[in-house]
A and B are shown apart, each in its own frame.
Chain A
Amino acid sequence: MRPSMTGLEISRRRQESIEFQSPFPSRSCFRSRSLMASAASAPSRAEVLSLFRSLLRTATKFTDYNVREYVRRRTIDGFRENWGLSDPSSIASAFADGRNQLEVAKRQVVVYSLYAPKIKNVMEIRSG
């Protein structure tokens, strides 16, 4: 199984050249074995799954209940929605978008935790 580190390292280097952090389209996933080169290299199945897992892992780190649930839900729904994509360029762009979203999420986890209120949300306190 190909280590997923390689894909993420490439993406990290590419992030440095991005100028304005405008938000990106909804997260997406795809299944592709095509090796067609576009601006971002075509992702493998392993890379896609790694992105999916990273997004879910990042979601759990948010200190805010609503944001945490949203990131988790949106990731799952977004990947499910784009599961059937077959056109290589759209797959590659969707993957790039997903990676950018991951970077945004990682930064925001830090920001939210710096200012987390001491009292928890009512939804997190008692059950039912």
Chain B
Amino acid sequence: MASAKHLSVLRRALPAGRLLSTAAASAAPLPVEDAAEDVISMKGVRISGRPLYLDMQATTPVDPRVLDAMLPFYLSRFGNPHSRTHLYGWESDAAVEAARSQVAALVGANPKEIFFTSGATESNNISVKGVMHFYRDKKRHVVTTQTEHKCVLDSCRHLQQEGFEVTYLPVGPDGLVDLDRLAAAIRPGTGLVSVMAVNNEIGVVQPLEEIGRICKEKGVPFHTDAAQALGKIPIDVEKMGIGLMSLSGHKIYGPKGVGALYLRRRPRIRVEPQMSGGGQERGIRSGTVPTPLVVGMGAACEIATKEMDYDGRRIAALQERLLNGIRSRLDGVVINGSVEHRYPGNLNLSFAYVEGESLLMGLKEVAVSSGSACTSASLEPSYVLRALGVDEDMAHTSIRFGIGRFTTEAEIDRAIELTVKQVEKLREMSPLYEMVKEGIDLKSIQWAQH
């Protein structure tokens, strides 16, 4: 093993790794690192170090064990898994099949039911558009919720433009879908019910078993977007009656650019492929299967199978710590979404009487996301929060804390410190808050119109 001295020599010999032109892509959007002052200056913001990462719903860091599993396939085992005639192809294919069983084991499926795609977005597209196009002669209706991920909603809109009907079920203020309304919305012509397992913005866990039962009774395929749920809550496709499921690699400490689609075989659910080509992945998704990414996803799933309990307990404790830490020092903190039916690693909080953008600007040492960031580049508040019935001003101040496997107690404490300080600072400056402290009800004010 290289000693530390050798490593430092190596590092000096390759200054910042920018010598090769192939490294240009990685050099492009780097922050200006002023090594003398140890300050990063980017987009007009100066911070003293790399922020602590609390945005696990956006993406997760790659687990070192996953990276270790992937690297050989970038180095010497670079073969195409579809090459039938030589060792490179055989070993690559064996690795892909091993990864397939690892993914299948995590969700209680048969490996033949797992198809690798480029991500949960592609899996969602295949599920929604593929199923409806296949059964287009008999089934013309889709049931989904208002809080689905953008790719599901966009696919549904695409179907609407083609002449299908879509019912967007509302959710309650706790983010849960009403099972009676769901059952009532299903008609004889319904071809698909799509409800996501864990919401990426508010962390609410939908009652998958009940929904699966309803769909099974009515004979409608049940699709769930389990990108945020995989490896975090136990998923069993048999118990939950799931017909199609979208999985994502980079939400479970795996690489970006890979995902999977679970497609039930008994009873068989047919889809029309969205990618035409050489018929790879049993014709469901043509294109060379990216062995290193797939191996990474398999490794991530295997780790998740083993670590789910340990991580779950730890993350629940960290969420408590975060919530108590903030609530003990601030009032006017509202949790968006159900508190009981929630994945602990996702905490979406709204701070009253504080403006969202300024709150985020002051939290540059913590990498968090706001309620509206992942949906659009505009300042429009997130559609998920709007579906919950959250007031516009509260929706604007929502912050989503994402806790993960690698989060430490010290990071949580620092995040509490920074958040509380920033909120207090903003509230000090806020005239609205002054009025609230004097006891004036803001909603009763008659603002003068000029």
Q: Which residues from chain A sit less than 8 Å from chain B, CB to CB?
A: 20-26, 61, 66-67, 69-71, 73-74, 77, 101, 104-108, 110-115, 117-126
Contact = CB atoms under 8 A, between A and B. Distances in A.
B448 interface: no
A69 B406 contact: yes
Interface stretch (B46-54, B118-126, B163-171, B257-265): B46-54
B50 A23 contact: no
Interface of B: 1-2, 4, 7, 10-11, 16-17, 31, 33, 35, 38, 40, 47-53, 61, 64-69, 71-72, 94-95, 98, 102, 298-299, 302-303, 306-307, 310, 365, 405-408, 410-411, 414
A125 B414 contact: no
A113 B132 CA distance: 49
A71 to B, nearest CB: 8
B7 A113 contact: yes
Given A66-B406, A123-B414, A125-B48, A104 B64 contact: yes
A108 B68 contact: yes
A119 B303 contact: no
16 contacts: A20-B69, A20-B94, A26-B310, A66-B407, A101-B65, A104-B68, A110-B1, A110-B2, A111-B64, A117-B50, A118-B35, A119-B38, A119-B49, A120-B49, A121-B49, A125-B49
Contact of A77 (B17, B67, B69, B310): B310
Which has the most chain A C-beta neighbours within 10 Å: B61, B66, B94, B406? B406
B38 A69 contact: no
Given A21-B68, A70-B405, A123 B52 contact: yes
A25 B299 CA distance: 11
Which has the most chain A C-beta neighbours within 10 Å: B1, B33, B51, B407? B1
Contacts of B52: 121-123
A122 B48 contact: yes
Contacts of A113: 7, 11
Contacts of A114: 7, 10-11
Contact of A22 (B51, B299, B307): B299
B301 to A, nearest CB: 10
A105 B169 CA distance: 48
A122 B365 contact: yes
Contacts of A119: 31, 33, 38, 40, 49-50
Given A23-B69, A114-B10, A125-B49, A105 B64 contact: yes
Determine chain B's interface SS by DSSP, over half rule.
helix
B33 A67 contact: no
Nearest to A23: B65
A107 B71 CA distance: 11
Contact of B1 (A69, A106, A117, A118): A106
B47 to A, nearest CB: 7
Which has the most chain A C-beta neighbours within 10 Å: B17, B48, B50, B52? B50
B79 to A, nearest CB: 14
A119 B36 CA distance: 10
Contact of A118 (B2, B33, B66, B365): B33
Nearest to B404: A66
A113 to B, nearest CB: 5
Contacts of A67: 61, 64, 406
A104 B95 contact: no
B68 A66 contact: no
Contacts of A122: 47-52, 365, 414
A74 B302 CA distance: 16
B47 A108 contact: no
Given A110-B1, A115-B17, A66 B53 contact: yes
A23 B2 contact: no
A104 B1 CA distance: 12
B55 to A, nearest CB: 13
Nearest to A116: B11
Contacts of A23: 65-66, 68-69, 299, 302-303
Contacts of B299: 22-23
A22 B17 contact: no
A20 B95 contact: yes
A120 B50 contact: yes
A35 B372 CA distance: 61
Nearest to A104: B68
Contacts of A117: 33, 50
Contact of A69 (B7, B31, B69, B408): B408
Contacts of B67: 108, 111
